[in-house]
Amino acid sequence: MERGKTVELYEEAAKLIAAKGSGVLLTLVATDGTGPQKAGSKMLVLADGSVRGSIGGGSFEKDMQRLALEVLVEGKPRLLTVAAEGEGLSACGGKKTVFFDPISGGPHLILIGNGHVGQAVAKIAVGCGWQVSVRDDRPLPAGGGFGEFTQITDYTEPFSGLLPGEETFVLIASRSHDTDLQALRAALKTSAAFIGLLGSSRKKTAFFAALREEGETEEQLGRVKSPVGLDIGASSPAEIAVSIMAQMIQKGKSRWKVGC
């Protein structure tokens, strides 16, 4: 890759971090065969699957693009060597070694529900510099809101277009018990670092009983923070939001030193 194009790619990565976005920077570390790109070539894959730069083109690059999204979910760097007939990948032109470096602008909060508590949490999280995605089947209120809002119709798949990984916090606070349970089932299928469920201990007991009957393990259920939030005697939506955000910051600091 030409030096100017490499600089442009790094500038793209810097903008991504500044915007609290995420992606994966791929570097072609070594190649012992023929190909359109030399060692040192770079490609940036964004969370939506779009690509900047190139490390070879064709089916090889498509395979690397797919693997980059897997790395993004895991949140861990990966070094991979592939051959022309290796691991089901189409790497023409001999062996190629690629380094995958995930990029994150910070923790990502996915809010399922845009009610009073959800809106209050989103406001604080945005103020702390977190990336915030809000999902609700109700339209965005006339006064607007905080974070990136998407109206959904199906709570069984509330994360469509997102990649909840190890730097993702999920807060479930939708309009009803039914939609909360649907969203919780979906959240447990992700590798999110934090899953919070708004509600009472009675609600938690009912949900956990239903999930156990469906075959959910105790280890999985142990990932759910419910009732979510630190016990500070909170009662109003704003106070509850403070207790929830404090718990998420506490969790984040224990892993990545994140906060306000």
CATH number reported for the structural domain that contains residue 156 in this entry: 3.40.50.720
Q: What is the DSSP letter of 47?
A: T
Instruction: Using a cut of 0.75, tell me whether the model's pTM lies above it.
Output: no
* 242 lies in some domain: yes
Of 104, 137, 159, at which residue does a domain stop? 104
* 260 lies in some domain: no
Q: Which two tokens stand for residue 159?
A: 């994360």
Shared-domain flag, residues 217 and 174:
yes
CB 106 within 8 A of CB 132: no
Show the domain range for 33. Answer: 3-104
Shared-domain flag, residues 129 and 226:
yes
Of 54, 87, 104, at which residue does a domain stop? 104
Strands annotated E in 122-259: 131-136, 148-151, 168-172, 194-197, 224-225
What is the β-pairing status of strands 148-151 and 131-136? parallel
Question: pLDDT higher for 153 or 16?
Answer: 153
Shared-domain flag, residues 65 and 119:
no
Shared-domain flag, residues 227 and 147:
yes
Shared-domain flag, residues 93 and 134:
no
Shared-domain flag, residues 7 and 96:
yes
Longest CA–CA span in the chain (Å) reads 66
Shared-domain flag, residues 160 and 50:
no
CA 198, CA 184: separation in Å to the nearest integer?
A: 11
CA 152, CA 154: separation in Å to the nearest integer?
A: 6
Q: Is 172 exposed, middle or buried (0-12, 13-18, 19+ CB in 10 A)?
A: buried
Shared-domain flag, residues 129 and 157:
yes
Residue 254's pLDDT band (cuts 50, 70, 90): low
For the chain, the domain total comes to 2
What is the average per-residue pLDDT within 221-227? 97
Of 78, 104, 130, at which residue does a domain stop? 104
Q: Residue 208: which H helix or E strand, with range?
A: helix 201-213
CB 134 within 8 A of CB 150: yes
Flag whether pLDDT at 259 surpasses 60: no
What is the average per-residue pLDDT within 189-205? 96
Shared-domain flag, residues 205 and 99:
no
pLDDT averaged over every residue in the chain: 87
Flag whether pLDDT at 88 surpasses 50: no
Flag whether pLDDT at 92 surpasses 60: no
Shared-domain flag, residues 56 and 137:
no
